[in-house]
Amino acid sequence: MSPRVTSRERLMSAPASVIFDVLADPSQHAAIDGSGTVQGHIGQQSRLSLGSTFAMKMRFGIPYRIKSRVLEFQENRLIAWGHLGGHIWRYELAEAGEQTLVTETFDWSMSRLPLLIEVVGYPRRHNKNMERTLLRLAGLVELTTE
Domain at 5-144, CATH from 2.40.50.840, 3.90.1150.10, 3.30.530.20, 3.40.50.410: 3.30.530.20
**Which spans in 16-121 are helix H?**
16-23, 29-32, 114-119
Q: Would you kindly state where each structural domain of the chain is located, as residue ranges?
A: 5-144
Q: Tell me what pLDDT residue 27 has.
A: 85
Q: What is the DSSP letter of 66?
A: E
pTM: 0.88
pLDDT, tens digit, for every residue of 73-116? Answer: 999 999 999 988 888 999 999 999 889 999 999 887 777 676 66
